[in-house]
Amino acid sequence: MPATPGPSGSSARAIVAREVDHLLERLQAVSAPSALNLYDERAGVAAGDRPGDATRRLDALRAYLLDHWSAPVVLVGEAPGRHGARLTGVPFTSPRLLHGSGPAEASATVVHRTMAELGAGRRVLLWNASVLFRRDNLIPLADALAASREVLGLATAGRTVYAVGRVAATATGAPYLRHPSHGGSRAFAAGLADALGRRVPGAVTSAGVPPRRSPGHRRPGARHPRR
């Protein structure tokens, strides 16, 4: 399991910080011809970013990871979205969600709203199969997914993994959850509720009736060994 601060907290927090900083160090080294590393200042400026944008994204991601590193579950999406991690550096998180203003992103809004309704925000870490942004905002190519494999392993190690979308499911081998885009928000919410053994208020199954599950029911996720 990811390190969790104990009563004193200081040594556990130091372990968490080392693990997070190691992931971020490896993250900054990821590269592929088809996509942009959002956390690389030189690459970002070359792609039209302002100086300091990549550093701000990296700092936001570090703060997010430090706050969620003890989460036992990780949702892996496909890649940074144009109005999500492309701007903030945090997976499935738009400027509107992170700062309270600025662009919103529909899928990110659904993911955060669903986690809030399930009371699962502190139990779930958000990540992407590709940490690189493809400039046309389409699904990531094979080179970006391969380049991101090491940091994907670091982010998922010791956690139960669920994949949001087919690309993420292929990359992780984890149970598939419907992506919230293109009319998939209700199916995503129902799938995540089922995965976590909870229920979204007002959720219905594909048959149009509230889902039934036995006490303690939980859909099995893919458990990734701690490395």
Total tally of structural domains belonging to the chain: 1
The pLDDT, as a whole number, for residue 223 is: 62
Percent of all residues in the chain with a pLDDT value above 70, rounded to a whole number: 84
d(CA 101, CA 104): 8
Dihedrals phi, psi of 92, to nearest 5 degrees: 55, 35
Dihedrals phi, psi of 222, to nearest 5 degrees: -90, 115
Asked, for residue 189, whether it belongs to a domain, the answer is yes
Asked, for residue 79, whether it belongs to a domain, the answer is yes
Asked, for residue 168, whether it belongs to a domain, the answer is yes
The interaxial angle of helices 10-28 and 149-156, nearest 10 deg, is: 160
The pLDDT, as a whole number, for residue 137 is: 80
d(CA 2, CA 78): 23
The pLDDT, as a whole number, for residue 56 is: 98
The pLDDT, as a whole number, for residue 201 is: 65
State the amino acid at position 58 in one-letter form.
L
Asked, for residue 216, whether it belongs to a domain, the answer is no
The pLDDT, as a whole number, for residue 135 is: 85
The pLDDT, as a whole number, for residue 62 is: 98
**Residues with Cβ within 8 Å of residue 95, at least 6 apart in sequence:** 83, 87, 88, 101, 102, 103, 104
Asked, for residue 219, whether it belongs to a domain, the answer is no
Which domain does 14 fall in, by range? 10-207
Identify the CA nearest to 123 among candidates 198, 18, 59: 198
Sign of CA dihedral 111, 37, 146, 123: negative
Q: For residue 107, what is the domain's CATH number?
A: 3.40.470.10
* pLDDT lower than 50: segments of the chain: 5, 204-220, 225-227
In order, the DSSP letters of the chain are: ------SS-HHHHHHHHHHHHHHHHHHHT--BTTEEETT-HHHHHHTTPPTTHHHHHHHHHHHHHHHHTT-SEEEEESS--TTTHHHHSSTT--HHHHHSSS---HHHHHHHHHHHHHT-TTTEEEEES--EEETT--PPPHHHHHHTHHHHHHHHTTSEEEEESHHHHHHH-PPEE--STTTTHHHHHHHHHHHHT---TT---TTSS-----TT-----EEPPP-
Dihedrals phi, psi of 36, to nearest 5 degrees: -100, 135
Asked, for residue 169, whether it belongs to a domain, the answer is yes
The pLDDT, as a whole number, for residue 14 is: 95
The pLDDT, as a whole number, for residue 10 is: 85
Asked, for residue 20, whether it belongs to a domain, the answer is yes
d(CA 204, CA 125): 25
Dihedrals phi, psi of 143, to nearest 5 degrees: -65, -35
The pLDDT, as a whole number, for residue 211 is: 39
What are the pLDDT digits (tens) for 188-221? 999 999 999 987 666 544 333 333 333 333 344 6
